[in-house]
Amino acid sequence: MDQDWFSHVPHPVFDEHPEYIELYDLAWNLAKDHVKHIPGMPQDPYIDESFCESRIWIWDTCFMTLFCKFSPKDFPGIESFRNLIDVLQDGVRLPLVRIPEGEPARMSLRCSRFPDMSAFSYSAHAKSGGLSGC
């Protein structure tokens, strides 16, 4: 990630409530900590939206896609869908990874019953101009 990443995110102005700006900045810093590099993943780097590095959750990836579109240079939101599509559609196997202590023993994909959410996220990203060049 670029050392100057924070200059790439939008910066709101809300003088009446500076604590909202602090919360906003915290959200971006937390997101930065969830940009992961795992060799062998279909998409590397990707945004690990979850509490657990050994699981990829479809619904959470959809949500993070909507968040990351505001700073696509540093936050691989829409690109993280490759970790879902390549596995579910193309049969690509996820790599063996060293699982942090206390997490489930193997890397896996967690599907939920929200297929429309992924279509909505992808569509919203495209409408914002985020898919140009893809």
What pLDDT is recorded for position 51?
67
Decide if pLDDT at 133 tops 50.
no
pLDDT single digits (tens) 40-70: 888 899 998 766 666 777 888 888 888 888 8
Work out the average pLDDT over 81-87.
84
Decide if pLDDT at 134 tops 50.
no
pTM: 0.75
- Counting other chains too, the contacts that 113-121 makes at CB distance below 8 Å and 24 or more residues apart are 114/58, 114/59, 114/62, 117/58, 117/59, 117/62, 118/58, 118/61, 118/62, 118/81, 118/84, 120/62, 121/61, 121/62, 121/63, 121/65, 121/66
Determine which helix (DSSP H) or strand (DSSP E) holds 118, and give its type and residue range: helix 115-127
Decide if pLDDT at 127 tops 90.
no
